Structure 1
Amino acid sequence: MALHGLTSALRTAGLTLADAELVEVPGRADRRPGWDPSAAAHWPGLDELAAGTVDAVYLKGGRSAEQAAAAGFVVAVDLDATPSLADRVNNGTPRPITVHAALLDERPELVVRFLAQTLRAARWATEHPDEVRAFLGSEVGSGGDGVATAYGADVHLGLTPDLSPERLALLDQQQRFLHEHAFTDAPVDVHAWADPAPLAAARRLLDEEEGR
């Protein structure tokens, strides 16, 4: 995640990783499933930044942004503020919804129901921005300012899943980065991997339930 974020930040200045010296910093020993590391005490690298042993740190999430601001650090490159969505691509951006192929083959109705509920929640979110920000804050241990910094003021408007050509191109960018840096053994054909049928069925199901 940090490697891709630093790559994107350097690219905005016409630079590459070859133009920077990467410094490994200690990670977290208490990672566990379902736990967001941005909610913990210190984001990796902030102590090194304060000590002057590194010049910049990649941050993710509202809590880490609050930690950096409290320490007096300033943002050098805000990837969320750049005009190109390609600069924001990273782990979970865009965030894919995946299931095992066997589940899709054997119980497609479960996948459709799950996606319909996801679409329902996304529609609800468009009309409840304060509740969405409060929920995100509780998830990452951040206040309102941190949520706004990390996710943007209009985060409640961008939660609807879709398989648009733009989204698939961004996901393809992420898989290419992972393969180029040896995080994956082989490239993934994103367009062959994505199946639009369940999402289309979920939209129809939700429209029928809501009488649209």
Structure 2
Amino acid sequence: MSDKTDKSGEPTAGSAADLSKAAPQIKETTFENTKLSTAPLDWNEVWYTNCVLISAANVDQDLGWTREEFKKIGVKFAYLRSVGENDWYPHYIHNLDNLIRFGGLFPPIAVHADLRRTRLLGVTHAPHEGGCMMVRARDDIYRMIDLKGKKIGLSKSLNTIKNDWWRIQEEQGIELMLRMNGMTREDVEILEFPYADDWYNDPEMLNPIENPSELQTMRDHKHDLSQRPLEPALETGVVDAIYTQSKVFQQLQEATGKFKAIEDLSRYPDWTLQVANIPAAITCTEVMAEKHPELVVAYMKGMIKVGRWANEHKHAAAEILDRTTLYLDVEHTYRGIEHIDMVPNLSPQNLASVEIGKDFMLSHGYIKNDFDVQQWAAPEFLEQAAKELLNEQWVKKTGEKLPKAPAARIG
């Protein structure tokens, strides 16, 4: 996406712009005008894909422990974009049967609701990153009430193939912050900013990448404005405020000296406010779960092992995560993950957070079809993976002290 502005500071056609003025100048990307590309289906290989957020998968991409689990069963485990046949779309629409995704919450909700059936295998929640309202640092704005009658930006992807996950968290966060301060949308002006969002099968973006970390090392991802599309509009005064994520984007933006947060949902004790494209969700296709459950179990074994290691070695995990996530630096990353359970789970509270995100998407037209989150969740794979790991540990530990290791005792 472009973040260019002309000399007057007004957004150009390829960047943030008022929908009514810019939409005719930006091409909409649809299933009808786009050719998707995926590798031929082969159940002897499993693809994985991660978002740049807190997850065991983003630690494992450097450790390689999940790949070892797949080697044990003779299956290749590789990053989605390690071959030229796969474009970026499977990360967002899960159009590969043999793909496992660990990433932001909103795209897999949209997939399961409207595109194809999947299984929710586990989640990891960062329960204190609900979102902030950012304004210019030197503006005479210190409270949400000071935004009354002013403009708040709201991005709009013109790519209808994929879910507009960034806009969803913006809209959700804006409405929550207004409500927490006795305001409604009627008290402010919401200004839409469409952008093309069309890079997912751009030939320049399709050079094979062996590891997701490589993508970030090829660019200064902590300062890449493609991750913060509305920031130029705020800086140039086109809008007076924008939503941003607490503790990640927030600190990067404040470190410039140009912006400040006047509201922060992460400071409230109400855990239901903390659903900003999180919890991070692990999903696989229903066909994989039903026809090849051993592949799902192998993946979950890797996530449990890596998650436990990350919980015990938070500084080391932070060193790895800093390469791909959006905290300021390693120490800031450590503070961000210090109290996060890195082992994926399907706890009642986390499933309730998933349902909050799903209900918002349904009520605001981001998905067409409703579904039962409890039925989407598939805890049997996490349970089986944990049992197998415990069995393996039993055999290993007893085998070290006995002539012949006894059989494992968990069925």
Normalising by the smaller structure, the TM-score range is 0.7 to 0.9
Q: Which runs of 5+ in 1 are unaligned?
A: none
Written as runs of structure 1 = structure 2, the 5 A alignment for 1:94-173 is 94-140=279-325, 142-144=327-329, 147-148=332-333, 152-154=336-338, 157-173=340-356
- Which 10-residue stretch deviates more, 116-125 or 67-76? 67-76
Q: 1:86 aligns with which of 244, 267, 272?
A: 272
Look up the match of 1:22.
190
SS of corresponding position for 2:374: helix
Q: Which has the larger radius of gyration?
A: 2
SS of corresponding position for 1:70: coil
1:14, distance to aligned residue in structure 2 (A): 3.7
Q: Which TM-score applies when normalising by structure 1?
A: 0.83
SS of corresponding position for 1:210: helix
- Which 10-residue stretch deviates more, 71-80 or 157-166? 71-80
- Which 10-residue stretch deviates more, 183-192 or 2-11? 2-11
User: Cα distance 1:45–1:188, how it changes in 2: closer, same or farther (>3 A)?
Assistant: same
Look up the match of 1:6.
174
SS of corresponding position for 2:261: coil
Q: Which TM-score applies when normalising by structure 2?
A: 0.46
Q: Which runs of 5+ in 2 are unaligned?
A: 1-168, 202-211, 398-411
Does the aligned pair in 1 maintain the 2:322–2:330 contact within 8 Å? no
- Which 10-residue stretch deviates more, 26-35 or 167-176? 26-35
Distance in 1 of aligned mates of 2:352 and 2:288: 25
Does the aligned pair in 2 maintain the 1:28–1:44 contact within 8 Å? no
Structure having the higher strand fraction is 2
Distance in 1 of aligned mates of 2:195 and 2:257: 19
1:32, distance to aligned residue in structure 2 (A): 4.1
Distance in 2 of aligned mates of 1:32 and 1:146: 32
User: Cα distance 1:3–1:170, how it changes in 2: closer, same or farther (>3 A)?
Assistant: same
Look up the match of 2:13.
none
User: Cα distance 1:18–1:187, how it changes in 2: closer, same or farther (>3 A)?
Assistant: farther
User: Cα distance 1:38–1:78, how it changes in 2: closer, same or farther (>3 A)?
Assistant: farther
Q: CA RMSD in A?
A: 2.9
Structure having the higher helix fraction is 1
Give, as a single letter, the amino acid of the residue that structure 1 aligns with 2:179. Answer: R
